[in-house]
């Protein structure tokens, strides 16, 4: 297995306020890595530090062994790191198909783009049925699917997902998580999944990290985290 991403001793700040303390983690090619933690623990900031929206002040962020701390988000997309931000942020005025086209904005292989669009429609048949519909008129679950599909159009090697379950009904969440597993297994995409829904996220992840107050306090296989007493009490409501 190759090391795809590594954070070593990362500290990140918003102005003078420190949000991340000494974060070290790694993701190997092919894994689904789950990051769980309470509101404000620093999960989104960790993702944003990976995709270049927030710059680590200290420590290292390595992608395929190269430091990427000062690489712009756009260049990182070109290198295969793509984020689906919290709150989805699709283009509401554009149709489903136009949203997907936007995901491929850095590509110029029109045949490949067409093939990948069909692949997305295969993964999300509901989007195929609604390809001419404006993004803003889709349901919350459909918008989340569109946000993931749009990210896939960039052909990511590493897909960063920030709380894909947020505000969605349990059945829709299960559907989306099944597709995340499929994208990982069948489309050779490594996944970094941030979630408050710890139970489901730990069920589809291979390994997981637990964050509290800007620090990583636990890391283990997801199987072991699911039976860890501390995790059960704090995050699984057991
Ligand atoms: P949530 O699940 O609520 O999104 P989170 O674990 O993703 O929480 P972050 O959003 O990373 O947590 O927030 C970590 C800390 O950084 C919090 O204390 C938050 O208030 C702070 N923070 C986040 N964004 C900003 C910002 N743009 N400016 C200042 N502080 C911020």
Q: pLDDT band at 84, cuts 50/70/90?
A: very high
Q: How many CB atoms lie within 10 A of CB 229?
A: 8
Q: Give the mean pLDDT of the chain.
A: 94
In degrees to the nearest 10, what's the CA dihedral of 117, 123, 128, 130?
-120
* Domain extents in the chain: 88-155
Is the ipTM value over 0.90, yes or no? Answer: yes
DSSP conformational letter for 79:
T
Kindly report the pTM of this predicted structure: 0.94
Sign of the C-alpha dihedral computed for residues 137, 132, 156 and 193 taken in this order: positive
Atom of ligand 1 nearest to the CA of 86: 4
Q: How far is the CA of 32 from the centre of ligand 1 (A)?
A: 23
Specify the pLDDT at position 8: 97
Residue of the CA atom closest to atom 21 of ligand 1: 19
Please say whether the beta carbons of 161 and 192 come within 8 A.
yes
- pLDDT, mean of residues 192-217: 96
Specify the pLDDT at position 1: 67
pLDDT tens for residues 22-81?
999 999 999 999 999 998 999 999 999 999 889 899 999 999 999 999 898 889 999 999
pLDDT tens for residues 153-172?
999 999 999 999 998 999 99
Q: Indicate whether residue 167 lines ligand 1 (CB < 6 A).
A: no
Atom of ligand 1 nearest to the CA of 211: 6
Sequence-ordered list of residues with C-beta below 8 angstroms from that of 110, at least 6 positions apart, any chain = none
């Amino acid at each position: 297995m190759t090391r795809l991403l590594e954070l070593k001793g990362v500290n990140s700040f918003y102005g003078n306020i420190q949000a991340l303390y000494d974060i070290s983690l790694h993701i190997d090619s092919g894994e689904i890595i789950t990051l769980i933690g309470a509101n404000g623990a620093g999960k989104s900031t960790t993702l944003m530090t990976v995709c270049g929206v927030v710059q680590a002040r200290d420590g290292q962020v390595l992608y395929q062994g190269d430091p990427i701390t000062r690489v712009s988000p756009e260049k990182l997309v070109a290198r295969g790191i793509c984020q689906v931000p919290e709150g989805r942020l699709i283009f509401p005025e554009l149709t489903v198909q136009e949203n997907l086209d936007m995901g491929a904005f850095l590509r110029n292989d029109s045949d490949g783009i067409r093939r990948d669009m069909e692949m997305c429609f295969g993964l999300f048949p509901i989007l195929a049925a609604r390809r001419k519909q404006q993004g803003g008129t889709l349901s919350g679950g459909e918008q989340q699917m569109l946000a993931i599909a749009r990210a896939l159009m960039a052909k990511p090697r590493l897909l960063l997902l920030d709380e894909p379950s947020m505000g969605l009904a349990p059945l829709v969440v299960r559907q989306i998580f099944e597709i995340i597993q499929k994208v990982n297994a069948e489309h050779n995409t490594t996944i970094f999944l941030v979630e408050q829904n710890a139970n489901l996220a730990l069920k589809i992840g291979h390994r997981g990290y637990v964050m509290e107050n800007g620090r990583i306090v636990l890391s283990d296989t997801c199987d072991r985290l699911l039976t860890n007493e501390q995790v059960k009490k704090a995050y699984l409501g057991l």
